[in-house]
Structure 1
Amino acid sequence: MTDATTTPPEASALPDWLQGDPRPLWKRPGLWLVVGLLVLALGGGVVWMRQRAAQQAPRYITEPLVRGDLALTVSADGTLEPTRSVNIGSELSGTVARVLVDVNDRVRKGQVMVELDSSKFQDQVRLSQGALDSARASVQQAQATAKEARVALQRLQEVGRLSGGKVPAATDLDAAQAALDRAVAAEAAARATVVQAEATLRTNRTNLTKAAIRSPIDGVVLTRSVEPGNAVAASLQAVTLFTVAEDLSHMKLSVNVDEADVGQIQVGQKAQFTVSAWPNRKYPAVITRVAYGSTITDNVVTYTTDLEVANPDLTLRPGMTATATIAATEHKNVLLVPRSALNFSPTAAAKSGSGSKSVVSMLIPRPPSSGTRSAKTDTRNGGTRQIWVLVDGQPKAVDVQLGLSNGRLTEVSGPGLQPGMAVITEQQSGTAP
């Protein structure tokens, strides 16, 4: 009996849980479950790759191109002073009898401020008056002597004429002539003595008037260094009794400008300054003088610059220390960019753009971007530089002409520039999580 060989059925490629289902393949729910899982996995992969690409794309920090005013300023410190001040002393030595004014008093020109003891000066006037009277009497005496000598000479000359020259003797005529000459000379000397006595009297009278020390100007008394009973000793350098400042409603601010900034300072430029007494108030001023002579302090060369200051409310006082800000140059209604925009240059990857990456390229790991690359920039006036603006998400280079710069903002100009343009100041590289 021959045994028949049984052929095993062909193995199916479907899973066991699908082989037992007699329904057609496309009607089986298990198959659709697998397809759904594959679609979800593929969608999640696409979302993940897009997020990764967005994280790796460079991000730009921008500031709008604005229009405004730009001023180049110079700062300097100095001291407030009166426009004119006078130190009042005494030409005479003496004792102070009365002091008639005090600090902060307003005085008028010619007003008596101090009186010295005048008894000594009055005595000197009397002495000089007596000397003058004596000199005048001497003149009269000399005149009488000269008249007498002249008459005696005339008599002798008449006798000689009548006698035909026999009498008097020639020696007598010569003696009479000499006596007349001496009398005339004595008269001239007496008159000169009168002139000297008159001058001495005028001097003593002037000294008497100077015993009352008067103000030479209208102003305000700033300092007083004299009291009744003080002895005043006149010398080559007069002792200062008072300091009087002229009208304090107008003052002068003297500041020291550094040699590096003096070339930008000119007469007529406007300035503002502050003082410690009023820190929140800015006072206006105008430059009136820039000194050519320099001052060297601790090896620092400065130039004294005077500014005219209005002080109608008298809040400013002489001697106050002030910090002035001088508007050396000012440009109005110009386009301005931050200085960082002039130092910015995007990376090569950012210039080529990241929007054209394929899915495969996004899946390939790349090293992180190096971030912002700075370039040394010459921001001097008149230079041509390049700024980058953001257009449709991509950086675009724009050539600009540089103008005034204060170190923070720089004036720019050029074709195509419009206020509101997004100027790139910084680039940040994206990083994958």
Structure 2
Amino acid sequence: MPHANVPGSTDPLGPADLVDAEALADMRAFNDLKAKRKKQRKRKIIIGVASTVAVLAVAGGAFAWYTADQAAKALQNMAPQTGFVEQGTFVETVSASGNLQPVASVSATPEVDGIVGEVLVAEGDAVEEGQTLFTVVNDELDKAVNQAAQGIEEAKNGVAQAQNAVNDAYHAKSAGQQAAATAQAQAQAAAAAAKEAGGAAVESFAGEQASFDESSADSAIRSAELALSNANLALQNAQSAYDEAVARAAKRTVTASIAGSVVAVNIEPGKALGATASAATSPVQIADLSQMTVSINVNEIDILKISADQTAEVTFTAAPDLTLPATVVSIATTSAGSGDPSGGAMYGGMGGAVTYAVKLLIAEPDPRLKPGMTAKATITTTTIDNALMVPISAVQSDGAGGSFVMVLTDPETQEMDMREVEVVASDGLTSVVKGQVKAGDEVVVSGGAGGAPGDMGMEAGGMAAADSAGSVMVG
């Protein structure tokens, strides 16, 4: 046994006694660490092996699940997709959007220039036909009326003077005739008294004194009457000028030409109007909102389904909760955008979609609606009561102009019967048929084994076979 290094001891020290105690402790710690790492390596190997086994097990399960899923899908694809014959009301519609318009609309525009005087209405007011909307100030029109009135007075004076001239002409003739008659009587008396003393000369003198130029008097009368006629014509012209001036002045008061609602007011007192106005907009716009119209454009495929008096339902973007009935009132005979044939756009356009304008009338519009709002019209084009309806993909062509459907008679054996039908109507999703089917029949809408609807699985490598009765077995 080693000896302890005791002071005063006479025993010699061995090699073990020369080892430092601290170094010995380090050696022991190193050995312990090596042993611990060895155990950890064994544990990691065991965990890795276990993990590998677990991964292989999961992979095997996933592969098995995938295989089973693919098999199920294959079986599902082999079975045909089916639908049912339904009986009810078939409704086919055509929808398009457009804008609301009033049934009638007018612009209250003055026919004379001037400055806006009074504005007597506001947007939203209800007005009657003939009601004053606003006035125009134009002093020149008053001056024109006064001048025309003066012209009438002058013309009246002219007529009076001409009438006096006519009267004078008649008086002159009458006086001349009377003077001539008096002179004639005096000459005859003088001639009778002087007959005895050279009657021939006296008679000649008496005849000269009794002569009167009646033709000149008549000519003077005709001239006076002509002047009177001209004066009367001048009076008529003056009256017409006055009436025109008054009527033009009256146009300074602008009235409503129809009954309706004021939908726009674009003027203010003191602003210029007419030729001197700065804005080209309508001063006051009035619309009859008791009825409204919707103008839509219908494509050429659907336009042949549209006819006058068809009913429709109209919805509105601004009022999603509102639906109103409407009626087709007009259908355009030429496509929208048709123009001058020289431009190449007549009756069809230049390669764009061909549409036709259709107008619908809303007889009782909602007070919330305003012109210009977006509206969607859904027109009912076909209605068939008690119709037998099938999915459009269930109907197939027999290649000879006829149609048929496949009716699934036994879901377990996938046995099917071929039934002849006639397609009465279709909206692109559903077909109305009549023939050898009834409500509740289960019809095939797509073939099994990935086949197309036209194949119905009959060429799926012998998986379908037809019996002598026309039934089809899928095995």
Please say if 1:143 is aligned against 2:196: no
Give the SS at the match of 1:277: coil
Report if the CA contact (8 A) 2:113-2:138 is conserved. Answer: no
2-structure distance, mates of 1:287, 1:200:
51
Give the SS at the match of 2:354: strand
1:55 Cα deviation from its structure 2 partner: 5.1
Structure 2 counterpart of 1:184? 225
Assess, with a 3 A threshold, how the Cα gap between structure 1 residues 64 and 132 changes in structure 2: closer, same or farther: same
Amino acid across the alignment from 1:395? M
Q: Deviations over 1:197-242 (max 9, x none)?
A: 111121122223221111112111112222212222359xx97321
1:120 aligned to which of 140, 147, 168: 140
Report if the CA contact (8 A) 1:225-1:242 is conserved. Answer: yes
- Rg (Cα) greater in structure: 2
Amino acid across the alignment from 1:413? K
2-structure distance, mates of 1:135, 1:160:
37
1:253 Cα deviation from its structure 2 partner: 1.0
Q: Deviations over 1:59-104 (max 9, x none)?
A: 2322121102222222223221000011111111112112121222
Give the SS at the match of 2:129: coil
Report if the CA contact (8 A) 1:90-1:234 is conserved. Answer: no
1:123 Cα deviation from its structure 2 partner: 2.8
Structure 2 counterpart of 1:193? 234
Assess, with a 3 A threshold, how the Cα gap between structure 1 residues 336 and 141 changes in structure 2: closer, same or farther: same
Please say if 1:391 is aligned against 2:432: no
2-structure distance, mates of 1:411, 1:429:
28
The 5-angstrom pairing of residues 32-431 of structure 1 reads: 58-163=78-183, 166-167=208-209, 172-234=213-275, 240-246=282-288, 248-296=289-337, 299=350, 300-343=353-396, 384-393=402-411, 394-415=415-436, 417-429=437-449
2-structure distance, mates of 1:423, 1:92:
76
2-structure distance, mates of 1:334, 1:271:
21
Give the SS at the match of 2:89: strand
Give the SS at the match of 1:143: helix
Report if the CA contact (8 A) 2:77-2:448 is conserved. Answer: no
1-structure distance, mates of 2:133, 2:76:
86
2-structure distance, mates of 1:192, 1:272:
66
Amino acid across the alignment from 1:385? S
Amino acid across the alignment from 2:426? S
Give the SS at the match of 1:90: coil
2-structure distance, mates of 1:95, 1:240:
15
2-structure distance, mates of 1:56, 1:177:
126
2-structure distance, mates of 1:141, 1:179:
15
1-structure distance, mates of 2:336, 2:181:
89
1:429 Cα deviation from its structure 2 partner: 3.1
Q: Deviations over 1:94-115 (max 9, x none)?
A: 1211212122222122221111
1:412 Cα deviation from its structure 2 partner: 0.9
1:408 Cα deviation from its structure 2 partner: 0.6
Amino acid across the alignment from 2:147? L
1:266 Cα deviation from its structure 2 partner: 0.9
1-structure distance, mates of 2:95, 2:386:
24
Figure out how many residues of one structure are paired with residues of the other and give that number.
Answer: 340
Which structure has more relative contact order (CA 8 Å, sep 6+)? It is 1
1:177 Cα deviation from its structure 2 partner: 2.8
Give the SS at the match of 1:98: strand
Give TM-score scaled by structure 2 length.
0.65
Amino acid across the alignment from 1:180? I
2-structure distance, mates of 1:178, 1:57:
122
Amino acid across the alignment from 1:207? R
Report if the CA contact (8 A) 1:100-1:113 is conserved. Answer: yes
Report if the CA contact (8 A) 1:159-1:167 is conserved. Answer: no
Greater displacement, 309-318 / 56-65 = 56-65
Which consecutive segments of 4 or more residues in structure 1 shift more than 6 A?
A: 375-378
1-structure distance, mates of 2:367, 2:334:
31
Report if the CA contact (8 A) 1:90-1:239 is conserved. Answer: no
Identical residues among aligned pairs (%): 31
Report if the CA contact (8 A) 2:112-2:248 is conserved. Answer: yes
Amino acid across the alignment from 1:267? A
Give TM-score scaled by structure 1 length.
0.71
2-structure distance, mates of 1:212, 1:57:
82
Report if the CA contact (8 A) 2:141-2:248 is conserved. Answer: yes
Greater displacement, 310-319 / 391-400 = 310-319
Give the SS at the match of 2:368: coil
Amino acid across the alignment from 1:410? S
Give the SS at the match of 1:292: coil
Greater displacement, 179-188 / 291-300 = 291-300
Assess, with a 3 A threshold, how the Cα gap between structure 1 residues 291 and 183 changes in structure 2: closer, same or farther: same
Amino acid across the alignment from 2:128? R
Report if the CA contact (8 A) 2:398-2:404 is conserved. Answer: no
Assess, with a 3 A threshold, how the Cα gap between structure 1 residues 208 and 376 changes in structure 2: closer, same or farther: farther
2-structure distance, mates of 1:239, 1:158:
77
1-structure distance, mates of 2:261, 2:177:
77
Give the SS at the match of 2:335: strand
Amino acid across the alignment from 1:333? N
